[in-house]
Amino acid sequence: MQQVKNFINGEFVDGADGKKFDKRSPLTNCVIAQVSEAGIADVDKAVRAARTALQGEWGRLTTEQRVGLLYGVADEITRRFEDFVEAEMVDTGQPRHVMTHAFIPRGAANFKVFADAIKNVPSESFQMATPDGRGALNYAIRVPKGVVGVISPWNAPFLLMTWKVGPALACGNTVVVKPSEETPLTTTLLGEVMNAVGIPKGVFNVIHGFGPNSAGEFLTQHPLIDAITFTGETRTGTAIMKAAADGMRDVSFELGGKNAGIVFADADFDEAVDGIFRSAFLNTGQVCLGTERVYVQRPIFERFVAALKLRAEAVKFGRPDDKNADYGPLISAEHKQKVLGYYAKAVAEGATIVTGGGVPNMPADLADGHWVQPTIWTDLPETATLVREEIFGPCCHLRAFDSEDEVISMANANDYGLSTTIWTTNLACAHRVAARVEVGITWINSWFLRDLRTAFGGSKQSGIGREGGVHSLEFYTETRNICVKL
């Protein structure tokens, strides 16, 4: 049985009280690893190690030296690519191609992109007049925030964790990372990379455990944490924000979504079907940017529903290394129960089930895994639970619309505001709609095209702040103004 340890001050260690929890395979529900749970004393040790590291060798490196080390981290991830792919497949049960094309390369890129960004960031400088005529020079330097608490989810574990650790380290901070209890492996592996590259001890620490009354909460409540960056559910973000209020710690939150896909009748039909299909079902629907509400203009509504149904019914499930498998299982028994709870609610609320609604037949060796069918509904009112709440499974609801104003008002009638996709060949219409939909990210005739230099984040209850490019640098640094009389 694989043993997964915390990584504190450059060493892999068990928790002081020896507590462990099981990591189960999403494919079979069998226990595949035992993970050391960090208690309050271990979290304290990790945070203090991170604080000491700030004042040590790491804090004295020049930007160029830090950048060199982070390039080394990216190169070492690439050298151990297969180890990361394997670990992420074991943790998530998702297909190899998702790991090799997206999750792991993006992890390496997160170190390079922000190393480049910090090298090129300008700083402001103003000449001031003074009453005696000598003048003064006012300029700003960027300093690291300090020790950053990083709390990440399970749905794209390595990509989302490094999206925070990359810029935090590039800016000269030190970090204590609490990965999801569901996906402990790749974050732990990153500890080996940090040691191999020569990142000083204490700069990168990993503590394992759960949220409330466990490592997550202990981390957010620790008084020596200077800032918290979190990706996960909105209600978890609310709890973390309350903890961060003590001590006035800054937060950056990337939270849930209930994203609308808007398909106009003049869209390239096949491209729109393909885009909505991918955005609803990729990663078995476990993508914050996924589309769970689809609005299709009335003249093509029936044809669109039929085409999407065909695509959903052709989905094949299987093990990560099964070349015929499109998708894997949901992450956990608990999440499967939650998604199936929504499937049952759809029936109770009067939805028409276009396809799916249950669990697929799987071979005996995978029968206990967390599989659910891709599911499509129609005919629910906008007030239905299914249309309002984030499900985070392979499913979507479709509704016909007539006018631009009508669809904008339906897209905006939701507490979340993460992303939207607009499908049309009328670019004037696309730009008009994009400007009025209340979200942080809009894709036109595309989905999930990401340039890491651009702003990423949600409006309304989908987040606080923006990350990516200079926006990450803003969060992970503090500007210090210095005024010198000439």
Instruction: Decide whether 88 or 217 has the Cβ nearer to ligand NAD.
Output: 217
The residue sitting closest to ligand NAD, measured at its beta carbon, is 211
Phi, psi (rounded to 5 degrees) for 464? -130, 125
Catalytic residue status for 288: yes
Instruction: Decide whether 37 or 254 has the Cβ nearer to ligand NAD.
Output: 254
Q: Are 174 and 50 in contact (CB under 8 A)?
A: yes
Cα gap 8→27, rounded to integer Å = 31
What's the min distance (Å) between Cβ of 405 and ligand NAD?
28
Instruction: Decide whether 43 or 376 has the Cβ nearer to ligand NAD.
Output: 43
> Which residue out of 288, 292, 395, 467 is catalytically annotated?
288
What's the min distance (Å) between Cβ of 382 and ligand NAD?
20
Amino acid found at 49? A
Instruction: Decide whether 154 or 343 has the Cβ nearer to ligand NAD.
Output: 154
Cα gap 476→144, rounded to integer Å = 6
Cα gap 416→430, rounded to integer Å = 21
Cα gap 26→88, rounded to integer Å = 12
What's the min distance (Å) between Cβ of 152 and ligand NAD?
6
Instruction: Decide whether 198 or 247 has the Cβ nearer to ligand NAD.
Output: 247
> Which residue out of 76, 217, 254, 390 is catalytically annotated?
254
Q: Name the residues that contact ligand NAD, by CB under 6 A.
A: 151-155, 160, 178, 180-181, 210-212, 216-217, 220, 231-233, 236, 239-240, 254-257, 288, 390, 392, 418, 458, 462-463
Instruction: Decide whether 5 or 178 has the Cβ nearer to ligand NAD.
Output: 178
What's the min distance (Å) between Cβ of 387 and ligand NAD?
16
Catalytic residue status for 395: no
Cα gap 410→281, rounded to integer Å = 22
Cα gap 203→209, rounded to integer Å = 20
Q: How far, in whole angstroms, is CA 251 from its chain's centroid?
A: 15
What's the min distance (Å) between Cβ of 26 and ligand NAD?
13
Report the DSSP beta bridge partners of residue 303: none
Q: Which residues contact 13 (CB under 8 A, 6 or more apart)?
A: 5, 6, 7, 36, 42
Q: Are 265 and 297 in contact (CB under 8 A)?
A: yes
Residue whose tokens read 């204490």:
202
Q: Are 53 and 202 in contact (CB under 8 A)?
A: yes
What's the min distance (Å) between Cβ of 236 and ligand NAD?
3
Query: Half-sphere exposure (CA, 13 Å, Cβ side) for 136?
Result: 12
Instruction: Decide whether 72 or 211 has the Cβ nearer to ligand NAD.
Output: 211
Report the DSSP beta bridge partners of residue 401: 297
Cα gap 486→483, rounded to integer Å = 9
Distances (CA, A) of 305 to 47, 261, 367, 395, 447: 52, 13, 30, 13, 19
What's the min distance (Å) between Cβ of 482 and ligand NAD?
35
Q: Which residues contact 133 (CB under 8 A, 6 or more apart)?
A: none
Report the DSSP beta bridge partners of residue 37: none
Enzyme catalytic residues: 254, 288
